[in-house]
Structure formats: C-alpha cells, structure tokens
Structure 1
Amino acid sequence: MASRPMYEIGSTWSSERNTDVQLNLSVDDKHFRIELFTAKFEANPKLLKEYLLHVKRSDPTYIPPPPREDSEDDEFVDPLDEFYDWATRPFAALFRKIPPLDRDRSYTLQDCLFAEEFVYTLQVAGDELVPVPYDFNFGWRPAAMPLLSRTLHKSALPVYRPNDIHVRLKDDEVALPLNSRKRRPTVTELDTYAKIYAANLGEDVRVCHLLGVVEEEPTSRTIGLLLSYIDCGNRTLSCAARGCERTSHDKWLKQITHSRHELHSRQIVWGDAKPENVLIDGRDDAYLIDFGGGYTVGWVDKELVNTQEGDLQGLQRIAAHLAELCV
C-alpha cells in the first residue's frame, strides 16, 4: 500500500475524446496543475501501459474486478489516490523543497483561491518520467456565478471577501484545501438556498444554510456561497446507518421527515433525496444537504425530478432502506 501522500488532491479533469488528463493538487500553500498527455508516454510502452491503466481505473464508471480468493490483502485503495501517487513520484524532490504550512498563520480563502501556481507535464526520459514546466498561461480565476436568485436579491445577503473567511486546518493537514475549485453551484441550488435564507427556518429544521455570498476584490463579482458548517467528518446516512440500532434509524427518519415537511410548507424542494445527501453530525443528528436538484436512479424517478412528489418518493425509499438495515 502506498504511503500517505504529502499533498491535497483537487479536481481531476479528463475528456471522452481522448485519454489526456489534468491533475490538480496542493502542496503546502502552493497549487500544482499537472497536464498529462498520452502522446508523451508513447516512447516507453511500459510507462504508456501503466498510464492508460491508471486513466481507466480512475474513471468513475470503472468497476474493479472481484478480489482473488487467495488474496490476503482485501484493503480497498482508491484508484484515484493510486493515480496521483504514480504521477507525483517524479515530483518528490521538488515537493520537498516547498516550506511546510505555517501553523502560527491564519490562512484564508484568499490563500486557497489564489495560491501560487505551477503548471507541469510529465515526459519520458529513458525508463523514467521527469517533470517539465508546461508553458501554458491558463489564467485561472474563480468563475462568476449566475444571477443569485429570482427570490432574493444579493443586497439582502451578508457579503464576505475571501480574506474575511478563515480556513480551519486540521492537525494532520498537509496542504491548503482545494475544495473551493470543485464546481459552480447551479441556478436551482442558488434559488433554493436563497429561499431557505429568506424563510428564516428554526434550528429544528436541519438543513445546510446560506450564510452569505463571497465577492472577489476589486471587481465585486460573486464567486461563491458561504454555507453553514456541519461537523460530520463526511459521515453520511448511507454509511452511518449500517450496524446502528433501530432507535438511531427512527430518530434520523423523524428528523429528515420533519425537515422535509417544513421545507415543503414553504414551497421549497429538497431534490435528489437519497441517503448520501443526508449528513449525520457529531451529535447524531441528520441534516439535509445538496439542493442542486436532479435525481438518482433507485431513489427518485426521473419524471418526479425537482418536485415535492419526488422528495416524498425519495423519503419513502430512504425509510425502506433504513428498515432493511435495522439490527
């Protein structure tokens, strides 16, 4: 098993038209973009084969083969982690030269969004891969979001600058997080969060709340949403429900049902109702997240997408799922 990498994985981009891949990662307070081109591996068939296998296995639709019966190592290793480990080995010496995070410094969203950036590619040198600076000025900057909402004007929301938002680093954090680059919210998501904000829901309605908007300086472009933090350690209902007692399942279902009812009473749709869109926090309470709309096969039927009926169907299937897991 590979040792724990000293970087934070960001977004990974690929195309259906070819097998070129873009990797993004942060090392301490620096951002690295690694452009991988299939043509650059063709001089070495062995390295080309390794690269193409990593590309194949990192595809979200890839289904790994079942473990061999005689295999003693059944620990799962994320194929994307293995891809990054393989691609960053040639960078080890370069990464070691970067000063570690300053634990006495208070880092902000500004540091994450506008970290010093380096663009590289990998090319074959004999039987090895070597990192080479890639002269491509892509000029990344946070994308402006669509109109905030037809329901709530931006002037009604608190406004924050990236320097106002401090980033909490865990004790074992090896680099600044890159989560801010992952995706832009949809118009549906913006509208729903705006409705939740305007509804002034009570604490008994456990949902992710909109706290304000983030504006870029000096343009005042809206580049993000500031959402309430749910201290869950990425613990979703899907994983928390396994092996739990019936009392926990009943509590979570009651909380989800109540939150859904309060949203519907204000004409707010949850959308894409499923266990993965419920977080269980440190107090063992269930919170609804992901208001971007859509549906997931097996939980909400396509014809009921983004409707209250779809929420009800998803809730019924969540209840049935919990009942199957009861111990």
Structure 2
Amino acid sequence: MAPNTPPPPPPPPYEIGATWSSSLTTDVQLNVRVRAHHFRITLLTAHFSSHPAILQSYLRHVELSDPEYIPPPSEEDDFPSDPLDAFYDWAVAPFTSLFHAIPPLEKGRTYTLRDCLFPPESAYTLRVEGDEVVPAPYDAGGSRPVGVLLPASSPPLRDMSTVRVYRPEDVRVRLGEDAVAVPTYPRKVYVKPGCEDESEGEGEEVLCFFKQMLAGDVSTTVTELATYAKMRAAGLGDDVRVSRLVGVVEDEGTGRVVGLLLGYVECGNRTLVCAASDGKGGALREKWAGQVRRSVEELHARGIVWGDAKPENVLVDENDDAWLIDFGGGYTSGWVDKELVNTQEGDLQGLQRIEEFLTGLSKE
C-alpha cells in the first residue's frame, strides 16, 4: 500500500444466515445477507492447502465455530467471545468491494417474505492468491430447497377449508430504521385478510409470528397442521392460551409450504425458563403452572396432544400469562420419555416435570 493511501472501507453491515458443515470434512458453507442480496460462500479446505498459515487460520475458525466445541479451561484465544462471528468476519473481509456494490435498502418500500426467502443470490468461494484470499465465483450445485413439500397423501392446502393459504409476496415484513439487511429469518410479519382476493378490499394488517419450515420438517409440518385443524374445529376459548394458526404460506412455483403464520404473542422471546428464573417470586410461578395445566387439560378434553412438553415451549407474555407453543410433536429427553412421545400420557409427564421445575425454583 502506498504511503498516505487510506485503508479500504470495511464491508457494510451484514446478517449471518445458516452455516452448513459436515462431521466428515472441514469444508463449510457460509450464508450472508447483504441488504437485499444473498451471498452463498462455499469454503473448501483444498483451496487453502497451498498456504500453511492461511490454512491453519481457516481450520482454527472451523474448529472454534463448531457448536460442540468446548475449549480447555486453560486455553486463551485471540478470537472474540462468539467464534462464529469471528469466522464470518474473517471470511467476508475479501468481499468488501462486492458487498459495497449491492444497492442499499429502499426507504419506504414494502418488503415481503418473497424478498426474505427468495432473494437474488451470488455463489462464491475463497481462493489463495499470493498471501491473500480472494473471492472467486463458485456454484456447488444450487441453493437448498426452501420449505416443505408435503407428501402426496396429505390433502392439498387449498382443499382444507379451515386453512387460509398465503403467498410469500402477500406477507409483509416491516424493516426498522436501523435495519442493515432484509432479515434471513423473519419472525414478526403482517398480513391483510383480503390479500388473496383484491376484490375483498385491503382490511387492516394482522400481526403474525412466521414459523419457517425447512426441507426436512415434513412430519413436523403434517403433525402441526393436523393439530391446528383440530384446535379450530374444537372452538377453544380465549382463556386457553395456545398459539393459533392464522394461515399457511405456500410458494406457488414449487408447491412447498415455506412456513406457518401464527397468532403473535408479545413476549420478547421470553420463555418460561427465562421468566421463572428472573426472581419475580413464587406467586407468578404458581400462576404459570396453573395456566399451563389448564391449557393442557382443555386440549386433552378435546383429544388434542401438545407434544414436546417442556418449559422452552411455553412463552410468557407482557402480561405475565403463559402460552403453549410448538405443536409439531416429538419429545425432549428429561421432560418426556421417548415411549410416551405424542401421547396425552407424555403431556402429563411433561406437565408434572414443568411443575416440579417451577416448584424447585420457588424453594431456592
């Protein structure tokens, strides 16, 4: 670099997406959202083998970013507390000029799930040139499918009269003033009840929670849709605090269910685990235990199973009321025994252990 030459600007702020890796190799795929553009960056160990120092640095990042990595107590690392952030910072540094070329977010524009789930995409890798790593176009075979393709035995969504089907472009995502990118994992979204038929009028927007479905979530999606259909048919009262299905988002081009729209619980992502541990006192814990029990009993009275009963699947809202969520089935070791999965007996076992968990905190 010539004297007095200013350093290059840092990459613009970006949002981290999914990180794909395998226990069989040290190759990794990083996903970065820059404004409204998706960068898929496939890192191959072989590309760094010609430069031992760069290879060592790369392999160290891979090791530290493994979710199961636990450093020895005596080890001191130069990396910040979040190794995944450090890995991404290292990998995206060579992309500065490419990132800056992406147009900024449009002020006042209405973004939708279409922008979030199906953004324009560029595929790259990193290669060694001299003592530096540089971006190079690289397509490892296309993007992963978005959403779940329901089995042929499932009834088509449009034949299910109790389920309203939305398209990704029907679901709006509001960006904050400080947003740096269209979100990779949108959660708080809005729909207009008349969006499927313009003749119905605009109506007022309804706030929903968007639960995104991944390609492997087939059985979970089928179970969850069936459970929500039972809830609608049962006519549960408002005092039964369970998440309710507002609609399903389907991509017409692929026929895949990309996610569910659920009634939004204003909770700030506060689960029963967090709420019960913040020192608010035994009276609230007794209230939550009673609310969870009542909701489970009301479901069981109508032949509906919660499934995967545990404190993490209970949200506590801003009014300190407890809501049951996640009706896709399954179980979590320590809360429900495997042989009781997806049964009322399993729910009751999980309920008892939740109550024991709350009682134990009250005694501390």
TM-score range (shorter-chain normalised) is 0.7 to 0.9
2:7 aligns with none
- Show the counterpart of 1:113: 117
- C-alpha deviation, 1:274, in angstroms: 1.5
CA distance in 2, matches of 1:6, 1:43: 31
Match 1:94 to one of 98, 113, 117: 98
Alignment of 1:26-65 (within 5 A): 26-65=33-72
Displacement of 1:308? 1.4
Match of 1:78 among 51, 76, 82: 82
Q: Which residue of 2 aligns with 1:183?
A: 214
The answer to whether the 8 A contact 1:27-1:174 is kept is yes
CA distance in 1, matches of 2:248, 2:23: 34
1:275 aligned onto 2:306: no
Candidates 170, 178, 183, aligned match of 2:176: 170
CA shift digits 1:189-241 (9 cap, x unpaired): 33223323333322222222211122323566544322222232222222222
What corresponds to 1:227 in structure 2? 262
In the alignment, residue 199 of structure 1 is paired with which amino acid? A
Residues 113, 173 of structure 2: 8 Å contact kept: yes
CA shift at 1:303, angstroms? Answer: 1.5
**Residue correspondences, number:** 321
> Which position in structure 2 is the counterpart of 1:308?
344
Measured in 2, the distance between the counterparts of 1:4 and 1:263 equals 51
- Which amino acid letter does the alignment assign opposite residue 313 of structure 1? Q
Contact 2:11 2:95 in 1 (8 A): no
User: Are 1:243 and 1:325, in contact at CA under 8 Å, matched by a contact in 2?
Assistant: no
What is the one-letter code of the residue matched to 1:169?
Answer: L
- Residues 125-174 of structure 1, C-alpha deviation per residue, up to 9 Å, x if partnerless? 23322221214551555344315957995343212111111012234322
Q: What's the CA shift for 1:64?
A: 3.7
Verify: 1:22 aligned to 2:58, yes or no. no
For residue 80 of structure 1, give the secondary structure of its aligned residue in structure 2: helix
Alignment partners' CA distance in 2, 1:196 and 1:209 = 8
AA aligned opposite 2:116: C
Distance 1:135 1:263, change over 3 A: same
Summarize the Cα distance change of 1:57–1:268 in structure 2 as closer, same or farther, 3 Å threshold: farther
Take 2:360 and 2:13, find their aligned partners in 1: how far apart are those partners?
Answer: 40
1:272 CA drift (Å): 1.4
Q: What's the secondary structure of 2:68's corresponding residue?
A: coil
Q: 1:272 to 1:161 in 2, by over 3 A?
A: same
Q: Please, which moves more after superposition, 144-153 or 236-245?
A: 144-153
Secondary structure, counterpart of 1:103 in structure 2: coil
TM-score of the pair, normalised by structure 1: 0.86
Q: Does 1:215 align with 2:250?
A: yes
Q: How does 1:139-150 map to 2 (within 5 A)?
A: 141-147=145-151
1:261 paired to 2:301: no
CA change 1:81–1:263 in 2 (3 A) is farther
Give the Cα separation in 2 of the matches to 1:18 and 1:138. Answer: 20
- Give the superposition deviation at 1:314: 1.4
How far residue 13 of structure 1 moved from its aligned partner, in angstroms, is 1.3
Contact 2:250 2:258 in 1 (8 A): yes
The whole-number CA distance in structure 2 between the counterparts of 1:82 and 1:262 is 48
- Whichever residue aligns with residue 25 of structure 1, its letter is V
**Partners in 2 of 1:195 and 1:78 — Cα distance?**
42
- Conserved? CA contact 1:149–1:194, under 8 Å: no
Letter in 1 for 2:97: A
CA shift, 1:118, in A, is 0.8
* d(CA) in 2 for partners of 1:4, 1:269: 48
Q: Which has the larger radius of gyration?
A: 2
Moved more, 27-36 or 271-280: 271-280
Which residue identity does 1:271 align to in structure 2?
G
With over 3 angstroms needed to count, the CA separation of the structure-2 counterparts of 1:288 and 1:172, relative to structure 1, is farther
Q: Aligned letter for 2:250?
A: E
Match of 1:6 in 2: 13
Instruction: Kindly indicate whether structure 1 or structure 2 has the higher relative contact order, using CA contacts under 8 Å at least 6 residues apart.
Output: 1
Matched position secondary structure for 2:111: coil
For the residue of structure 2 that corresponds to 1:22, the secondary structure is strand
Report SS of the residue matched to 2:18. strand
Q: Which moved more, 1:23-32 or 1:81-90?
A: 81-90
Aligned residues: CA RMSD? 3.0
Q: 1:113 to 1:243 in 2, by over 3 A?
A: closer
Using the alignment, how far apart are the partners of 2:170 and 2:306 within structure 1?
30
> Which residue identity does 2:244 align to in structure 1?
H
Counterparts of 1:270 and 1:131, CA distance in 2: 48
Q: Identity of counterpart residues, as a percentage? A: 58
Distance 2:55 2:285 in 1: 49
CA–CA separation in structure 2 for the residues paired with 1:255 and 1:4: 48
Q: Is the 8 A contact 1:10 1:182 kept in 2?
A: no
